[in-house]
Amino acid sequence: MNPPIDWLLEADTWVQYRTRRDLLNTPENDADVIGCRQSMLKTPQVQALVTELADWPGGVLTSHKSAKHLLHKLTFLTDLGVRADDPGAGRIVERILAHQSAQGPFQMLGNISPSYGGSGKDVFGWALCDAPLVVTSLVKMGLKDDARVQRAVGYLMSLARDNGWPCAVSPEGGKWRGPGRKDDPCPYANMIMLKLLAEIPEMHDHPKLRIGAETALNLWSESQTRHPYMFYMGMDFRKLKAPLVWYDILHLTDVLTRFSFLRKDARLREMVALVAAKADAEGRFTPESVWAAWKDWDFGQKKTPSRWLTLTAWRIITRMETIV
């Protein structure tokens, strides 16, 4: 089975753009790629995201699983390919950089109850289940070499342990941590740290990255017995869902297949095979679960194949064919 390229190229311009770049490997300076990208930036949906994100960091982050929060809208916008020099994006970058913590990571607005070790007040701080996503977005927007971004990456790397990345928060978070043993890795924090490092090729051989990747794969192979911080890999985990917000099979395989050294691993190949098996006879994928906050996008329904979801799945599948 092959990707339904013609069908994808009939889609909205953000799907066309990423199809040309990610599946056809067409250069950024190609005339068709340039045209798709320029059209994408002018679409009402993308402009609405840019406008909303200009109010960064937005409301209080009450749940990292809240798909409507600006944190996840920023992640999706940069997954589309919006960069710092695009119209309106510069303001978003400025507002993110204005809230760099003393430790290095960039801050969100949160509120942790005193019963969970916080102050009960709205304060700027960071957690290892949000900070890597913010830094990833800055890197994807073209700020990889910015000293402030490099400082944030360095600090987040320093939090790694011999079993991957744990649950961790800034001093403003008090004694809060998720529902698990403090010595366990946090599956979600570990995954999004790998997501960040995937965007920095020179880090792909780093021992801490290798440990984090092994942790992620071991959690899959031991998923019947290990559920650190109450992250399960059962039926809900295996449902195809977009955009990539939480800990699920599409998000995890999208991250892990970015590392060429993992593509022969039987555990990763098993996960990707489960994704591939969900394609219909024409190689298209239909959402099996949705985020209500994204109901106006083509992946916000479960009745018909989604072009964005199909692109995301095929991006994962085709990476596995390139083994270095």
Mean pLDDT value of segment 97-103: 98
pLDDT at 222: 95
- 3-state secondary structure labels for all residues of the chain: CCCCHHHHCCCCHHHHHHHHHHHCCCCCCCHHHHHHHHHHHHCHHHHHHHHHHCCCCCCCCCCCCCCCCHHHHHHHHHHHCCCCCCCCHHHHHHHHHCCECCCCCECEEECCCHHHCCCCCCEEECECCCHHHHHHHHHHHHHCCCHHHHHHHHHHHHCCEECECCCCECHHHCCCCCCCCCCCCCHHHHHHHHHHHHCCHHHCCCHHHHHHHHHHHHHHHCCCCCCHHHCCCCHHHHCCCCCCCCCCHHHHHHHHCCCHHHCCCHHHHHHHHHHHCCCCCCCCCCCCCCCHHHCCCCCCCCCCCCHHHHHHHHHHHHHCCCCC
Split at pLDDT 50, 70, 90, the class of 140 is: very high
Higher pLDDT, 323 or 223: 223
Split at pLDDT 50, 70, 90, the class of 116 is: low
pLDDT at 263: 97
Looking at the predicted structure, is the pLDDT value of residue 323 above 70?
no
Split at pLDDT 50, 70, 90, the class of 291 is: very high
Which range is least confidently modeled, 50-54, 62-66, 101-105, 270-274?
A: 62-66
Looking at the predicted structure, is the pLDDT value of residue 304 above 80?
yes
Which range is least confidently modeled, 17-31, 101-115, 281-295?
A: 101-115
Which range is least confidently modeled, 60-69, 87-96, 279-288?
A: 60-69
Mean pLDDT value of segment 43-57: 97
Mean pLDDT value of segment 175-193: 91
Note the pLDDT tens digit of each residue in 188-214.
999 999 999 999 999 999 999 999 999
Note the pLDDT tens digit of each residue in 228-270.
989 999 999 999 999 999 999 999 999 999 999 999 999 999 9
Mean pLDDT value of segment 123-131: 95
